[in-house]
Amino acid sequence: MVQSYQSPVRVYKYPFELVMEAYVRRFPQCDMIPIMAGTDVIKETTSKDGAIHQVSRRCRLHVEAPYLLKKIMGVEFIYFVQTNTLDRRNRTLTIEAYNESFSSRVVINENCKYSVHPENSDWTCFEQTAALDIRSFFGFESTVEKIAMKQYSQNISKGKEIIEYFIEELRKDGITSVPRWQEPTPKATPEVCVAKDSKKIENEGESSSEEMDTRDRTSSTPSTGSTELQLGASATHLPNMDKLNLNDDNNKLDADYIKRCLGDLTPLQESRLIQLKKWVAELQKGKVPSDTCLLRFLRARDFNIEKAREMLSHSLIWRKKNQIDKLMAEYQEPQVVKDYFPGGWHQQDKEGRPLYLLRLGQMDVKGLVKSIGEEGLLKHTLHICEEGLRLTEEATSSQGRPVTTWTLLVDLEGLNMRHLWRPGIRTLLKIIEIVEANYPETMSCVLIIRAPRVFPILWTLVSTFIDDNTRSKFLFYGGNDYQGTGGLIDFMPKENIPDFLGGDCKRGTLSRFGPVPESMYTVMYPDELELRSIVHEGGLVPKSMYQPGEDIDGTRQHIPLSEQSMYHSVSLGRGQVHEVVLLIEEPGSVICWDFDVMKSDVLFSVLRTKVPITHRPEPQSPTGAMGVIDAVIGSDDQHRSVIEKSWREGYEYFRVEPQLVCHDGESIQGSHVTSYMGTYVLQWRYHESAPHTSPLDIIDTITAPKAKIMYYYETLKSADYRGSMTSLQSCQSGFSSLSSNTNKSVTSSCPSR
């Protein structure tokens, strides 16, 4: 397999001609390159006008290989052929090199280029690429590849140092500038040139150089675009794609830019970044994500370019399919999130990274899901991720060094069994899956503090969905271990730690990254202002904020977390019934349910039929006065019972749980451990407090307000139920309710609240 490597652009802040004068001093042998044993010129030519000078050299390199491999090779030197083409007119030097030794087994091609910096004619750029194809090498293919890569890395790191060294040597010799090459004058003779005053020649040289520089810039200007070479993409995250022309220059990266904005990378990592950038430019037809974004995907796959490319490709498709850019640009926090989501950006850690504080133990997961839906909770999570990317960019700009990740602090005080609500856990896992796939390597560390006893259960569920690299960044503190040495003080300045965690930040200061609205200021003392915390304490979401239906916010859902909504919504009029028919194939299976009564009252029952039910019966033709009512409000399958009117309780069907009257505003959770195989029915009926007593009640039946419920159900296999730490607390079935008139949370045998 051919391995390709490409270095970023190195910038020498010296004119091209001076760099060329320093470059030739490395031949025939350079003490700074111990591997080079010497060079011999095998061919040298110069054009008639002197503009093009080409020289080919055979270079002898010492063999840096294990002793056994040297013995097998049987050679002391490896020979390379290098051809340098200096174009004085266009101020470029191209270098092509290939191996002469073992060329039938190993093919190495290297290309280098020195050229004038596109934005500063007094600077010089250097770029280097290489390709390695090991066909066979006595069974040492992997070793040879490592040796070649090591040598390539050394060449890259040494190259700039060598040029700087010889420029300093030139300075010691009194050479600080070299005049640019000039086009020969046809009419001029050598005698005339010699007779000219030296000062006049110097002035003419400067004028000619300025004209040449102008001509070079003009000739390189495309008729339809800019002439600037983009040596570093702007520091924008994935939603703001950089529009680049699809050519090689746009995919180059300056080495100084990498160190300043991306951090220290090895030559191999730099090469992988540039290769991925080129590939994405072709894939996106000129639209390339930021270099920081590309680097995150490479790090997530240990700089395996094929795996990173696949991961990035899926992410770009996901963003386009779900219109993430548009979605995030138009996103507005719902009121319930502003009031009840216990999280927010909170200052920085000690390394200057943005810090997000989440009080997970105070979060009403069920209330949030039922008020803004799964998609709404995901949107808010994506908004946090996008905001984190923006804040890291601002931190990089303000601090003058790369800040590419942010820190997450999770406070678990208050976490209990109500957080192990199965639909909420399922939503959390789906969100983790989406974030892991599309926002890799965005967090520096995750600090988990005040973890209660129930947390290991939650962690057992969640951790399997978290990438190994991300999981290694989690740090856990039980009890008060987060206080004192070895705790939060190692990650955050004490003045940034909130007072409820033992710090000096009295009320939780706003993020310093963005403008602070005046409404957030509170006058505490005559000359002192304190900021109100944007990290809300959370709490139970009022049921009045619950919204039924799949389109919870009244808009099309852009990010489907599942094929269908987790919660179902149904309305029931008088005399109507809604049922879920379940086929249980294994005794010991567990039926779980969770529903909220949004309006009026309903009767809830759990039934088992003796007769198997494979489909709903066709509705019968209505007869009589009540038949007319059925035709109006109950003629569809959804509102008809599968229990035939002729069936008798205790014979054709059985009530396996006591019938429960559920009132307006109540939240009901429960479970039933099945004892038999067969058909089970979850049944909701409109509850009438008084029977019909007059014909006028028929009119009231038609015009009466309907009951509304939101429900979720799940069937667990016996093995999964008994082996899961997060299913039911016991094998006893039962109900629990949360009255709308109280603020207490009550859990049932199915920990769902």
Q: Which residues contact 353 (CB under 8 A, 6 or more apart)?
A: 392, 395, 403, 405, 406, 407, 444
No. of helices (H) and no. of strands (E), the chain: 18, 26
Residue 460, pLDDT > 80, answer: no
pLDDT above 50 (res 221): no
Residues 532-562 pLDDT 10s: 345 777 788 888 888 764 443 333 333 443 3
Angle at the Cα of 530 from the Cα atoms of 525 and 534, rounded to 5 degrees: 155
- For the residues 199-228, what does the mean pLDDT come to? 40
Residue 164 or residue 457, greater confidence: 164
- Give the range among 30-34, 142-146, 188-192, 476-480 with minimum mean pLDDT: 188-192
Please compute the mean of the pLDDT values over residues 576-587 and round it to a whole number.
91
* pLDDT at position 402: 92
Q: Which domains does the chain have, with CATH numbers?
A: 2-172 (3.30.530.20), 242-321 (1.10.8.20), 339-543 (3.40.525.10), 568-738 (2.60.120.680)
With beta carbons less than 8 A apart as the criterion, state whether 721 and 729 touch: no
Predicted local distance difference test score (pLDDT) of residue 141 = 62
Around Cβ 641, how many Cβ atoms within 10 Å?
A: 18
Which residues, listed in sequence order, are joined to residue 425 by a DSSP beta bridge? none
Q: Residue 214: what pLDDT?
A: 41
Sign of CA dihedral 130, 134, 135, 138: positive
Query: What percentage of the chain carries pLDDT values higher than 90?
Result: 28
pLDDT over 50 (residue 103): yes
Confidence of residue 83 (pLDDT cuts 50, 70, 90): very high
Percent of the chain clearing pLDDT 70 (strictly above): 69
What are the tens digits of pLDDT across the range 612-650? 876 554 434 333 333 333 333 334 456 788 888 889 999
Backbone angles phi, psi at 555, to 5 degrees: -125, 165
- The pLDDT of 184-207, averaged and rounded, is 48
Mean pLDDT estimate for the chain: 74
Among 93-102, 104-113, 152-161, name the one with the lowest average pLDDT.
152-161
Check pLDDT > 70 for residue 474.
Answer: yes
pLDDT one-digit tens code per residue, 15-35: 999 999 999 988 888 877 777
The pLDDT assigned to 151 comes to 64
| Residue 741 pLDDT greater than 70, yes or no | no
If you ran DSSP here, which 8-state letter would residue 191 be given? H
Q: Rounded to 10 degrees, what is the CA torsion of 463, 465, 471, 476?
A: -30
Query: Does residue 320 contact residue 463 with C-beta atoms inside 8 Å?
Result: no
Residue 747 in this model has a pLDDT that exceeds 70? no
Q: What CA–CA distance (Å, rounded) separates 223 from 215?
A: 15
Contact 485, 326 (CB under 8 A): no
- pLDDT of res. 140: 60
CB-based contacts of 500, cutoff 8 Å, min separation 6? none
- Look at residue 495 in the predicted model and tell me its pLDDT: 85
Structure tokens at 154: 């050394």
Q: Does the pLDDT at position 293 exceed 80? A: yes
- The pLDDT value given to residue 142: 67
346 confidence band (pLDDT: 50, 70, 90) = confident
Average pLDDT over residues 394-419: 88
In the prediction, which pLDDT does 154 show?
61
CA 389, distance to chain mean position in Å, is: 9
pLDDT score recorded for residue 156: 62
Average pLDDT over residues 62-77: 61
Q: Which residue has the higher pLDDT, 661 or 504?
A: 661
